[in-house]
Chain A
Amino acid sequence: MSHGPSAAGGAAISTTPHGHQSEPYVPVFTGETKARLDALMERYPTRMATLLPALWMVQEARGWVSPEAMAEVAGLLGLTAAYVKGVVTFYTMYHQHPVGTHFIQVCTTTPCHVCGAEDVVKAFLQHTGCGELGVTSADGKYTVIEVECLGACGFATPVMVNSDFIESVTPEKVPDVLKRYG
């Protein structure tokens, strides 16, 4: 972050995760998105309390939370970029790198584990062509990860694809699930 844009945003040059120069950073919080954030601020006595919602808005708009977006949020909320990064890295749901178009999370915690969730993970890795956890498939379509307890243990195995919550997934059902996310 040492060479990142100033907290005020503006026409700073952004970098890709590999450090190559790319398109200039386009701020997320303009127009309607900025108005939504301003409205949220009415709900809390501090601006900082809107940090998690603001990061969600970034991820909705861009698919992930880039260092440049962290700096933009920091500028809006009167925080430092380092502080925002500290928060982003604490929570598992903010993507710190771009992920596949369809982000697949398979619950494998104990209640699902006893019901065979490991085989569901294997089926997803095989049918998406990802091969490995956390790796995006060559066509950029899928990323599969294991996730800790999704809170739907009676409907093992629950799987999240993007924001869709799918219950009772078995290895046999995996191809059908994937058909919906071609």
Chain B
Amino acid sequence: MGFPFKPHPRESTVLSKHFGEAEARTLDGWKVRGGYRALEQALGMDPVAIQNIVKESGLRGRGGAGFPTGLKWSFMKLGDGKPHYLCCNADESEPGTFKDREIMRWTPHALIEGCAIAAHAIGAETAYIYIRGEFTEPLEVMERAVAEARNAGVIGPNAMGSGKRVDVWVHKGAGAYICGEETALMNSLEGKRGNPRIKPPFPAAAGLFGMPTTINNVETLAAVPHILVNGGAWYKNMARADNPKSTGTKLWSVCGNVSRPGNYEVQMGFPFREFLYDLCGGPPRGRTFKAVIPGGSSVPIITIAEAEAAFMDYEGMVAVGTMLGSAGCIVMDDAQSIPRQVARLARFYAHESCAQCTQCREGTAWTTKILERIVAGDGTAEDLDTLLDLADNMTGKTICVLSDSCAAPVVSGLQKFPDEFKALITRKTVHTVPAIVA
């Protein structure tokens, strides 16, 4: 598991191998660990050849959508005479997710190297790393690493003596969950309110400053140098035997009611049951697991029985009715009230709605009010129907998916744990915590 603890023997540490090593944060320390070999190699390669290696690896976006990275890069029309941009999405704000923070804190040069390689592969000379404003330490570490790499000529007007310009800059956000949405991030970087844009046009056609842009998550970009050095086939082989669609390693952030919370890096397709009990140490003493939100707060809640039967990859999560998302795994034990936690999640989305779309602005606010009323013991039977009706109007009808993300835990919570909601309404009781089993 992640710093400050040693990795579990069953982890496959690629990205997290140097977490906790202060020296790995420095340019020299990173080079000693094999750093910037991939960039040197990439700068001498044709951009399409780099795209093809990444395509072969099967790497998919680690921010939540899981879109194939090499394919995304190939949408950038090389030689069109326009400036191209790379954005690195380091606005990690999805509740439950804290993996990108560790990558930036411990291996800043892995991210800079990944950015520089990706920039070259899409014909861009400039990459911006947009880091959320609350990440004060990652911001400091990244700024220092970027300055060090720039002063050493690793990046800049003549990156590694290749004659190619690769600028990498850190841009600090100012507090807004929605800026993790790709087009909202671009608006924010341009100095605007972080309102998501209507698509199309997609970023590859008109993105940052109206120019062709690729946006990738921190973890996605940090994996790229390893793929270049070890080859696409090496990465592709880290997968479930019967599911070649999800490849490589994945960082899972585990939090909530669990014995050993933290970041774990496992190969795609790892059995969820063994993960939860062997690696994460099971529930807190005397408790049992009740529910899991496996991919950050925006994905449907599943019961512990469903989680125990799942495999940890994109398809494995879909098979049990949820999504891998950002792999921010929120675990809840039998002491938790699902309606209460769903209400808290709804409040989060109501707070973070950018308020452009009516369905989201009104829907998140009303969902929160109704859920908080139910939790307070003042709910009515009609409230449950109203919640589902609201959720229906909030799904697939807005510019971005924030509204859908609010609806997902509400609908799945009502489906998976209907008795808890009904008990609050019929018995007007507040949630009682079961006794600890000795």
Contact = CB atoms under 8 A, between A and B. Distances in A.
Interface of A: 43-46, 48-53, 55-56, 77, 86-87, 90-94, 105, 108-111, 113-115, 147-156, 160, 163-165
B330 interface: yes
Given A46-B209, A93-B133, A87 B193 contact: yes
B176 A49 contact: no
B220 interface: no
Of the candidates A91, A115, A154, A163, the one having the most CB atoms from chain B within 10 angstroms of its own CB is: A154
A149 B336 CA distance: 19
A55 B257 CA distance: 39
Contact of B175 (A92, A115, A152, A154): A92
Secondary structure of the A contact surface, majority rule? mixed
B174 interface: yes
A153 B191 contact: no
Nearest to A147: B134
Nearest to B133: A93
B332 interface: yes
Contacts of A87: 191-193
Given A93-B175, A110-B344, A151-B101, 5 more contacts: A77-B191, A109-B344, A154-B254, A154-B263, A165-B136
Contacts of A148: 93, 95, 177, 348, 351-352
Interface of B: 2, 83, 92-98, 101, 126, 132-137, 167, 169, 171-177, 188-194, 209, 253-257, 261-263, 293, 297, 328, 330, 332, 336, 341, 344-345, 348, 351-352, 354
21 contacts: A43-B167, A45-B83, A49-B191, A52-B189, A53-B172, A55-B174, A86-B193, A90-B193, A90-B194, A91-B133, A108-B344, A113-B341, A113-B344, A149-B348, A151-B92, A153-B95, A153-B98, A154-B255, A154-B262, A165-B134, A165-B135
Contacts of A109: 95, 297, 344-345, 348
Given A109-B95, A149-B94, A115 B344 contact: no
Contacts of A114: 256-257, 330, 332, 336, 341
Of the candidates B172, B191, B256, B297, the one having the most CB atoms from chain A within 10 angstroms of its own CB is: B191
B175 A91 contact: yes
Going nearest first, the 6 A-B pairs with the smallest beta carbon separation are: A51-B191, A92-B175, A93-B175, A91-B174, A153-B255, A48-B191
A134 to B, nearest CB: 14
Contacts of A44: 209
A160 B344 CA distance: 20
Given A46-B209, A50-B191, A52-B188, A110 B297 contact: yes
Contacts of A115: 255-257
A48 to B, nearest CB: 4
Contact of A110 (B95, B169, B191): B95
Contacts of B92: 151
Of the candidates B134, B336, B344, the one having the most CB atoms from chain A within 10 angstroms of its own CB is: B134
Contacts of A108: 344
A52 B193 CA distance: 10
A90 to B, nearest CB: 4
Contacts of B175: 91-94
Contacts of B137: 165
A108 to B, nearest CB: 8
B261 A154 contact: yes
B134 A46 contact: no
Contacts of A43: 126, 167, 169
Contacts of B169: 43
B136 A52 contact: no
A150 B328 CA distance: 13
Nearest to A90: B193
B428 to A, nearest CB: 22
A45 B209 contact: yes
A150 B136 CA distance: 11
A154 to B, nearest CB: 4
Contacts of B193: 86-87, 90
A56 B171 CA distance: 11
Given A52-B171, A92-B175, A154-B262, A164 B136 contact: yes
A69 to B, nearest CB: 14
A151 B93 contact: yes
B435 to A, nearest CB: 18
A153 B336 contact: no
A94 B172 CA distance: 12
A133 to B, nearest CB: 13
A49 B174 CA distance: 13
Contacts of A48: 190-192
A105 B263 CA distance: 23
Nearest to B92: A151
A90 B176 contact: yes
Nearest to A87: B193
Contacts of A53: 171-172
A165 to B, nearest CB: 5
Contact of A151 (B97, B167, B189): B97
Contacts of A46: 190-191, 209
A106 B261 CA distance: 19
Given A114-B330, A149-B94, A92 B101 contact: no
A171 B253 CA distance: 24
Given A49-B189, A111-B255, A164-B136, A151 B98 contact: yes
B368 to A, nearest CB: 13
A130 to B, nearest CB: 20
Contacts of B98: 151-155
B262 A52 contact: no
A114 B209 CA distance: 41
